[in-house]
Structures are given as C-alpha cells and as structure tokens.
Amino acid sequence: MASVEWVLADLREPGRPAVLSRDGAPRARTSLSRALTDPFGARRARSVAAELDRWARAPRTEKPSTFVVEGIRCVPVPGTTAEVAAAWVAAESVDTTDPPAAAAFTWDSIERRFCVPPESAALVGRRAVGEKPASVLSADALRFVEVDDTIGLVQAMLVPDRGPWTGTATLRPGSSASKRVSVSLLPTGPSALSGVVFEAPTLPITRRVESLAMTSMAQVSNIHVVVMDVEKMRVLRWLTDPPSGIAWKGRRDDRDAPHPDDVRRIFEVASGVFSGTQRRAALDGVRLRRLEGGWLIVDAAGEIVDGADPPLVIIQMVARGVSDEPDPVPPDDTGHPGL
C-alpha cells in the first residue's frame, strides 16, 4: 500500500466491514478483507477487518481516537455519537498524512432532519464550531450541495427502509472551492438512515446546464423553485435560491410557513395530486410567514415528478408582494399533520 493511499472502511453493518473508497475513488461496498489482501496479505487483511469490526461495536462513552493494528493505522470518521460508522485505514507509515475529509451523519424521515457532527465543517474547508452535533433541516443541509441524482436521494430519504443508496455530489460552500464527494446511505429503521459522506478527489467537478439555468433564473427574477414531498408538503431541496426571510417549518418553531387559510387550500390540492387524480395545480396569493413579521405573498404552481415514489412535486413560486395582516397561529402550534 502506497504511503498516500487511504481506504475508507464501512463499519455500519456488524460482521460485514466493507470498502467505500480506495485511491480517492468511491467503491461499491466490496469486502474490506479482500481489498486489503493484495497490499497486506490474506492473514493480515482478515485480522485487520475483524479487529475493525470489533472496535466499531465496542461499548464506549466517548468518541474513539486513532489506533494501530497489524501495522495499519485506523482513523475513525467523525460521527454524531460514540459509535463508529466508518474509518480510514492505511499503512502506519502515513502517520503524518491526514486522510480525506469525511463525516458520518443520521437522517430522520419523520422530522425531515439531518444530524451532523461539528467535524463535518472540514468537508467545506472550515473549522468545527462547538462540540455537539447539529440538527439541520433537509433544505438547509442541501442548500450548497448539488447532488447528481437529486430525485434518487430524496426518495431514499423519504422511504429509508427501501434499501441502501449511493450517489455523488458537489459541495459548493460559497467562498471556498467546490469539492466532489460521495454519499452512502444505509437504513437503520423504517424512518432512519445512517450516512457517510466523504471527499472523492478523483471525481471530476462538473455543473449541469439545468443547475446553472436555475441559479441564473433566481438571480435575475423573483422566481423560486423547490422540491417538496406531497404527503407532508415539506420543503426538501431548493433548486434555486429560496425566498429570503421566511420562517420555514422547523427552523424557528414547528408552525407551517403558510397562513392557516392557505394551508387548507394547499392540502386540498395536494390530496388530488397524492391520489393521482391530477398532475399539476396552481394556487395564487399564498401567504408565507416572514421571520420579521407579516407575510410574503407568492403565486405557486406545481407539477408531480414522473416516476417518483413516494410522490414528489416541483413547485415554482413567484413573489408578488407582502402583507402585514396579523398572525393567527400561536408559536407552539405544530402545524398540519399531513395527508
């Protein structure tokens, strides 16, 4: 194994350590012991794979640190708990070389939230802030992540027990340089996913024409486009910049962003889309709660995404003005339960 080569071991499934990355490129979760056999020999490879598996399952109250076994250095990927989801492994001679940036995270499909460790800031070239994991809404987490298969990712997020999902994405943190990453999701329950995201420098950085067009459209107009799930009508991912200053559900409290009268109108339309009786719909004069008070008034038009299961809808919003009418919803309201 060359001194610059790191292998990313997936340790989320007991007794089945696998490979997520090698030589800076994503791999299709092949056997870890087989991947290590060529550089280290079969006996050492099996020993290292078994030790990593035991290490990942060991009870602990604090996040683990780097350790060495059979002359191989093992660096845990930062996660949200003391459990080890993945680890970088390389020859002990690379002890002065840091592995690529990576982070383990979780997803709750009921709350529509990611839980990410503070060390995930390294993926965008920043220092960790604080010591506790952060709970992040889907739309916020994906704000600067351009996923190559957005619909595939969203469907995996909405139905976690459908099975594993793997994809690639580009991180666009603003002032920092773009970075290519790979994402691996594994179901841990009917509404939960365990994820690992890691830097994949061998993947070429590209930007789709559609993405450039969406960004340009938002910059030169007041049009905003978003992917939402029909069942709960929750924002999953913005395809353009979102309208600024809106109190989206879950960001400040659990109130629905639209005015309650408009929430009823929205779900009347959504029920038709969800049942398959209509593919597209439009609603004018939808009021969205502003963080500073009052409402942003938008005209909205949506169309169902072909082949999406569960149903997804792409909605275009056009800002028309603002309203200062009173807010009738108390801050402790938890919003519409969904369809």
**β strands within the chain, DSSP E:** 7-10, 18-22, 25-31, 67-69, 72-76, 86-91, 102-108, 113-116, 134-137, 145-147, 165-171, 179-189, 192-199, 223-229, 234-238, 280-289, 295-304, 312-323
d(CA 37, CA 22): 13
- Which pLDDT belongs to residue 188? 93
Average pLDDT rounded to a whole number, residues 45-51: 91
Judged against a pLDDT cut of 90, whether residue 308 lies above it is answered with no
9-13, 96-100, 147-151, 241-245: which has the minimum mean pLDDT? 96-100
In this predicted structure, what is the pLDDT of residue 315?
94
As a whole number, mean pLDDT of residues 19-30 equals: 88
From 179, 158, 155, 160, select the one nearest 168 (Cα to Cα).
Answer: 179
Q: Which CATH class is domain 7-199?
A: alpha beta
First to last CA, the chain: 54
Instruction: Judge whether 7-199 and 209-323 match in fold.
Output: yes
Q: What is the pLDDT of residue 38?
A: 84
CATH code assigned to 209-323: 3.30.450.20
Tell me, what's the pLDDT at 20?
A: 96
User: Are 3 and 91 a contacting pair, CB within 8 Å?
Assistant: yes
pLDDT digits (tens, 9 = 90+) for 135-178: 999 998 888 888 999 889 999 999 998 899 999 999 877 656 78
* Mean pLDDT over the full length of the chain: 87
Read off the pLDDT of residues 89-125 as tens digits, 9 standing for 90 and up: 988 765 567 888 899 999 999 889 999 998 888 786 6
Name the residue ranges covered by the structural domains of the chain. 7-199, 209-323
Alpha helices in the chain (DSSP H): 32-40, 42-57, 138-141, 150-158, 209-220, 260-275
Mean pLDDT on 292-307: 93
Q: Quick one: pLDDT at residue 275?
A: 76
